[in-house]
Structure 1
Amino acid sequence: MFSAATGEIASESVYNDSVVSIHYDTEEGKSSLSKDSLIKGTIILAVAALVARVLGAVQRIPLVYLLDDAGMATYSIAFNIYMMLLVVATAGIPSALSKLVSERTALGQYEEAGRIYRAAILFALIAGAVMTVLLFAAAPYYAQHMAKDPDASLAIRALAPALLLFPLIAIMRGYFQGRQRMAPNGLSQIVEQIVRLAAAIGLAFLLLQIGWGHVWAVAGASFGGVAGSVGAVLVMLYYAMKLRGEDRKSGEVGNRTPSAAPLGYGDIYARIFKLSVPIVLFSLAVPLINAIDSTITIGLLQPDLAYEAAKDALGVLGGRAQSLAGIPIILAIALSQSTVPVISAAFAKKEQTTVNAQASKALYISVLTGLPLVLAICAAARPINIFMFGNDEGTGIIILLTASAIFQIVMQTSGAVLMGIGQMRPLIVHVGIGIVVKLACSYLLAPVFGIYGIITATALCFIVMTQLNLVVLRRHVDYTILGRKWYGLLLTTLIVVAAGFGLEQLVHAYVQPFGYRMSAMIGGAIVGIVVLAAYAALLALTKVVTAEDAARFPGPLQKVLRKFVKNRKPSNG
């Protein structure tokens, strides 16, 4: 739905759950959407989210060069508050709309589906206008008194107009999902990021060249979000006209099966909010934590650091660490996502054995695919930092935040499973508890450990939410992630960490053939590849993954894992 990957994946998972359960309910177990097409749609959305995340990370490289860490601190303040509001405006609504539209189209009630769509469009336009005005008006107060960076006011205001369009984009994506058209949504995400990247870098460079200074350059980079939203909405409008033409040719613009009582706009909004509010609250977790960091970091660090040093630390956290730490989260959840939609269908049919198996599979895949990327980025953090951003400042921040991502991965995946079985209320409570833990620990640890205390508070927040999710999940689902194989995974992790960091020290000292940044790129590639290969090999040697286990992974990963485990017998652990 939006560029913040984690929230996006959670929303897409719920969308797919909704579609499957709807088809089982309305077709008495005969789903009109095959398993293959469901997974195909999930893969399209997952790949699009991954490409969007990578483009978002790539965008930071020239921006750090143009704006420096202080400028990136200002940019991250604007970006994180914008992303939090964007989740409120978009997350959940497409999932809810897709459920209502899918239900009507499955029954042949195309006119009623169109009425629901038009009502949602009206809501999107009004909500977008209200949120834009509020953000524009509140920007100076928030920047001056809460974030402690007056320069952020202009950057926040530059991003505000994007909220005019993103609710509309979200509604259109939800409608396409309800019509089982995934390509427009995936393509619009990619176009959005490409246009955002080009506009942000181009405007920042231009404004610096004409001498307007860093404050305006940061605002220009922020305005890239507005340009991206324009690109996305143009893609959606093209596909909307194309779909309308297809409907006319097929005769589906009529109401083939009249509905008993057409829904009024009030009823439509009530149903959308009932479905979307819980998803919004869960999806807010990560953007809200990032916004909290942007808001409190400078104020918490200032007693011990000069203002500029505190702002630079925030710049490293928001401009470097958050973009890199988000990569393993996207890939791991995307790979596990194809198994999660089946859970809601099985739960609706009371097939508890299938629910148990699919929940276990989703958690298993997310852990085993998320951990190697976490380890690779942590081990290669210094060369990645040097290659992408020109120096190794803040490498420790990148390592600690990326290490905490493994808990975020399990939190997001377990949350998606809880959504699939309808356990939204405890999930929302867990988010609230996690935010309290984040705030309390930040204020307790920052005076002692500085920026590392704030990041540790983030890790503790994710740990608490993950544990609470798993406890509630255990009450409803008999899941197993690794069982006794946790010991083998722990041993694998310790060996890979020791080997990865040891290799990085050697590479950094002796591999310098092409200058500082290019040598860092080569060194980072060497360390990353060795860590990933060692991880896969050790999983086989410790029998954490057997030939039987490899069959649980998506196709591309099966081919890689079978090279290591093909001659080994399955373990009974």
Structure 2
Amino acid sequence: MAKESFIKGTLIIAAATLVARVLGVFQRVPLEHMLGSVGNAAFATSQNVYLMILAIATAGIPSTLSKMVSERYALNQVREAERVYAAALLFGLISGVVVTLLLFFLAPVYATAIKQPEAALAIRALAPALLLFPMLAMMRGYTQGRNMMQASGVSQIIEQILRVATAIALALILVNNGASQAWAAAGASFGGVLGSIGAFAVMIYYLRKLRRLDREAGVRARRSNTPPVSLKAIFASIFALSIPIVLASLAVPLVNFIDSSITVPLLSSDVGEATATHIYGILGQRAQSIAGIPPILAIALSTSIIPVISAAYAKRDMQHLQRQISLAMRISVLSGMPIVLALGVGAFSINGLLFSSLDGAGIIAMLTLGTILQITMMTSSSILIGLGKPYIAMISVTLGIILKLIFSFVLAQFIGVYGIITATMITFLIITYLNLRVMKKVVKFDVMGKRWPGFMLATLLAGGLGYLTERLGEQLVGITAQSVKYGEPLAVVPHAGHKIGFMFTAGFVGIVVLVVFIVGLVVFRVVRRDELGSYPRIVQKVLRPIMQIQKVGSRG
């Protein structure tokens, strides 16, 4: 029963995260059409600032709180578990008030410093959401610790639905009434506030339901002869566990925050402030939204295996641990690569289909192709945390962020925004390398082993044929990537006929890449028949018919 409950909980959280992230990614498409260059840059900056501060404000406590509450309830230490939860809520309340005030009053200072003064309104509009989100995070951690996973899942989905609907509606109303881009971006940002209120209401409902179930089951905080643990001791225990976890998980929010802060100042001297703002609008609003798609499935698949790794390591079952780490890394790479390739080589058509102009496809393509390194970084960091080594992941991220800053400032002088994106790719690569190096000291494992050549061949073949399909589609549409000049705002605005052509081209590119990649994995024996049972069921269903190729090959 415990195993079934765990699997059910994992599926609920994974499904909710998937829905929430997809909604979050695609809210930017209509907003990009409504907001101009300045508005897109302002909205993207507000989101990146908000996500980074939110991660710091909650300090990784939800996952730590879940662990501490679960352990105490298992030992029937109900009073102590509730005291831990109360302490976490107090921290959430205090940190929420502090960060909200800081964000509201310092927004103009920060916006002026990064040469995006229009972003101040959008940041301020989102600041009130931080009043509730830290407490909301604690509530989610508590309910997860009590094994009520649906509370977190439903609250995430409601939050995103309200956020997306409000953001689009307010931006549309403001734009239609002649508001400035800065005010339209602020209206879109305010969607996060209503999202937090909706999620908070959902969590209150589930907490009341949990209390009612406790009363019916006779669960109560029993008196103990031992003195209650002090708040100081509780906070010390919470932070000792949570700080390395939050620093390890800050890599992506920090990278995006750095890009928000340095892109316009670094590019302004070469292309002018208006064009630099337009370029950052493409990077922050378009490229980051498309690049957010590949990690969704890969991280959901790999994250579900992390508790298994933790359990195997606790039992010192090194053979099982070796298999599970290899499988987790392999699944993340194999499931992420075809999506990365499809979105990367088809970036021009995807850009034309979804967004308001055709310039910036190269930025989208490069950032998206680099997300395969983000996938490996996030998976390896999670495995290190599962192995009880969050401090190693924290050190890797810290070194990577320092190098991100250095390489961004150096490379931007030579290749502009592509230098900033290259710095991001280098950061994720270095963090992955450092993580893998430590993991291999714990247990010897291979992600692909001798199958790397076959994997590279499948990748090159799928990417190459996908690119040829993209170029053919561009010729049929009548607009090629080479005809759109980089850095010129609204260089070409696609009409309805173009968008239909781009839709079919992007679809065909995706199909070609996916089919060729999967067949390539089987033909080059990267995925083998005898290990098919170790993959998730949905993967088995896709691969089993294609495995006949290996069967025929072995007979020959």
TM above 0.5, one fold? yes
Counterpart residue number, 1:371: 337
> 1:271, 1:500 → 2: CA distance?
52
Matched, 1:551 2:519: no
Please, which of 382, 392, 401 is the counterpart of residue 367 of structure 2? 401
Counterpart residue number, 2:485: none
Matched, 1:67 2:35: yes
> 1:529, 1:65 → 2: CA distance?
27
1:339-380 deviations in whole A, cap 9, x for unaligned? Answer: 211111121122222221111111111111111110111122
Counterpart residue number, 1:519: 501
Please, which of 127, 136, 143 is the counterpart of residue 160 of structure 1? 127
Q: Is the 8 A contact 1:297 1:314 kept in 2?
A: yes
1:41-90 deviations in whole A, cap 9, x for unaligned? Answer: 22221221121111112111111111023311111111111110011122
Matched, 1:218 2:164: no
1:454-500 deviations in whole A, cap 9, x for unaligned? Answer: 10010011111111111111111211111010000001111111100
> 1:547, 1:391 → 2: CA distance?
46
Q: How far is the alpha carbon of 1:304 from its aligned partner?
A: 0.7
SS in structure 2 of the partner of residue 212 of structure 1 = coil
Counterpart residue number, 1:246: 213
Counterpart residue number, 2:492: none
Matched, 1:51 2:51: no
Please, which of 426, 438, 458 is the counterpart of residue 492 of structure 1? 458
1:336-485 correspondence runs (5 A): 336-485=302-451
Instruction: List runs of 5+ in structure 2 lacking aligned partners.
Output: 479-494
SS in structure 2 of the partner of residue 568 of structure 1 = helix
Letter of the structure 1 residue corresponding to residue 191 of structure 2: G
Counterpart residue number, 2:198: 231
Q: How far is the alpha carbon of 1:567 from its aligned partner?
A: 5.2
Q: How far is the alpha carbon of 1:514 from its aligned partner?
A: 7.0
Letter of the structure 1 residue corresponding to residue 205 of structure 2: Y
Counterpart residue number, 2:256: 290
Letter of the structure 2 residue corresponding to residue 319 of structure 1: Q
Counterpart residue number, 1:28: none
> If the length of structure 1 is used for normalisation, what is the TM-score?
0.91
Q: Once structures 1 and 2 are overlaid, which stretch shifts more, 117-126 or 161-170? A: 117-126
> 1:514, 1:232 → 2: CA distance?
37
Counterpart residue number, 1:9: none
Q: How far is the alpha carbon of 1:113 from its aligned partner?
A: 1.6
> 1:261, 1:522 → 2: CA distance?
69
> 1:228, 1:131 → 2: CA distance?
18
Please, which of 11, 26, 33 is the counterpart of residue 2 of structure 2? 33
SS in structure 2 of the partner of residue 422 of structure 1 = coil
SS in structure 2 of the partner of residue 551 of structure 1 = helix
> 1:44, 1:91 → 2: CA distance?
24
Letter of the structure 2 residue corresponding to residue 415 of structure 1: S
Counterpart residue number, 1:4: none
Please, which of 116, 131, 139 is the counterpart of residue 149 of structure 1? 116
> 1:91, 1:540 → 2: CA distance?
43
Counterpart residue number, 2:85: 117
Q: Is the 8 A contact 1:203 1:221 kept in 2?
A: yes
Counterpart residue number, 1:533: 515
RMSD of aligned Cα (Å): 1.7
Q: Is the 8 A contact 1:374 1:405 kept in 2?
A: yes
SS in structure 2 of the partner of residue 515 of structure 1 = helix
1:152-183 deviations in whole A, cap 9, x for unaligned? Answer: 11111111111101101100000011011111
Q: Is the 8 A contact 2:92 2:134 kept in 1?
A: yes
Q: How far is the alpha carbon of 1:404 from its aligned partner?
A: 0.8
Q: How far is the alpha carbon of 1:210 from its aligned partner?
A: 2.4
Letter of the structure 1 residue corresponding to residue 58 of structure 2: T
Q: Is the 8 A contact 2:523 2:549 kept in 1?
A: no
Q: Is the 8 A contact 1:43 1:334 kept in 2?
A: no
Counterpart residue number, 1:193: 160
Q: Is the 8 A contact 2:411 2:419 kept in 1?
A: yes
Q: Is the 8 A contact 1:91 1:283 kept in 2?
A: no
Letter of the structure 2 residue corresponding to residue 543 of structure 1: R
Q: How far is the alpha carbon of 1:508 from its aligned partner?
A: 2.5
> 1:502, 1:40 → 2: CA distance?
43
SS in structure 2 of the partner of residue 401 of structure 1 = helix
Q: How far is the alpha carbon of 1:504 from its aligned partner?
A: 1.0
Letter of the structure 2 residue corresponding to residue 188 of structure 1: S
> 2:270, 2:532 → 1: CA distance?
51
Q: Is the 8 A contact 1:75 1:152 kept in 2?
A: yes
Q: How far is the alpha carbon of 1:232 from its aligned partner?
A: 0.9
Counterpart residue number, 1:29: none
SS in structure 1 of the partner of residue 278 of structure 2 = helix
> 1:229, 1:77 → 2: CA distance?
19
Q: Is the 8 A contact 1:112 1:259 kept in 2?
A: no
> 1:387, 1:374 → 2: CA distance?
18
Aligned length: 537
Letter of the structure 2 residue corresponding to residue 484 of structure 1: K
1:310-346 deviations in whole A, cap 9, x for unaligned? Answer: 0011000000111111111121011112221111112
> 1:534, 1:169 → 2: CA distance?
44
1:93-135 deviations in whole A, cap 9, x for unaligned? Answer: 1111011100111112223222221121111111100110111
Counterpart residue number, 1:103: 71
> 1:412, 1:243 → 2: CA distance?
33
Counterpart residue number, 2:550: 568
Please, which of 496, 508, 515 is the counterpart of residue 474 of structure 2? 508
> 1:254, 1:422 → 2: CA distance?
31
SS in structure 2 of the partner of residue 484 of structure 1 = helix
Q: Is the 8 A contact 1:64 1:72 kept in 2?
A: yes
Letter of the structure 2 residue corresponding to residue 195 of structure 1: L
> 1:336, 1:280 → 2: CA distance?
19
The percentage of counterpart residues that share the same residue type is 49
Q: How far is the alpha carbon of 1:258 from its aligned partner?
A: 4.8
Q: Is the 8 A contact 1:69 1:319 kept in 2?
A: no
Q: Is the 8 A contact 1:390 1:517 kept in 2?
A: no
SS in structure 1 of the partner of residue 292 of structure 2 = helix
Q: Is the 8 A contact 1:109 1:258 kept in 2?
A: no
Letter of the structure 1 residue corresponding to residue 101 of structure 2: V
> 2:59, 2:28 → 1: CA distance?
24
Please, which of 138, 141, 148 is the counterpart of residue 181 of structure 1? 148
1:213-268 deviations in whole A, cap 9, x for unaligned? Answer: 2111111111111111111111111111111111111111343x958443221111
Q: Once structures 1 and 2 are overlaid, which stretch shifts more, 518-527 or 326-335? A: 518-527
Counterpart residue number, 1:82: 50
